[in-house]
Amino acid sequence: MGRGDMPFREALGPECSLDWLNGISFKKGCYVGQELIARTASRGVVRKRLTPLVLAASADSPSLMTMATDRAAQVAPPPPGTKIVTLAGKSAGEMGSSCANRGIALLRTSDAFSGDAGAAVVLRSVTEPPVFMRAYKPSWWPVASSPTAPTNG
C-alpha cells in the first residue's frame, strides 16, 4: 500500500482500517476530524475500506477462488484510479496500487462482500480488456465483526 492509496486530506482513517490497526484513539481529546471519526465509530458503519485483491485475466480463473499467487498467470493490472464494477455493472470502487496479481482498492464493502454469508464476489475493472478481481479479508481483520463495522478498542 502506498501513500497514493490514502490521499492526503481525503482519506478517512476507518476507510484505511486504521480503526482495526489501533491507529485511531477513541479516548484521546480534541483532534482534527474527531467529530466525523466519533460519529463513524458510534454508528458502527464504514461503507468503504481499502481492501486487498487478487487479480486475474478471466472471471473463472482458479487463482480468484483459491486466492493463490499465480506467478505463471501474470495479468496487467489496471492503473490506480480505475473504476471497479460488479459483474452486473454496478460501481463498486476504485483501484489503488498493485503488484503482480495482487492489488488494493477502495471498495464499498457491501459490493465486495455481498456473496453467501458475506463471501467475496468477483469484480472487474472498466478497462479493455477487463481485469477480474476478488477482494479478501486479511487475517488481521476482526472476525467477530462484519467487514463494515469498526471495533472500538
pLDDT confidence band for 82 (50 / 70 / 90)? very high
Query: Distances in Å between the alpha carbon of 88 and those of 92, 125, 143?
Result: 11, 12, 28
pTM for this predicted structure: 0.77
Residue type, 12: L
Determine the distance from the C-alpha atom of residue 75 to the mean position of all C-alpha atoms in its chain, rounded to a whole number.
19
pLDDT confidence band for 38 (50 / 70 / 90)? confident
Q: Which residues contact 56 (CB under 8 A, 6 or more apart)?
A: 63, 64, 70, 73, 75, 101, 131, 132, 133, 134
**DSSP secondary structure code for residue 78 in this structure:** P
Neighbours of 74 (CB within 10 A): 11
The answer to whether 127 and 36 have CB atoms below 8 angstroms apart is no
In sequence order, what are the beta bridge partners of 122? 134
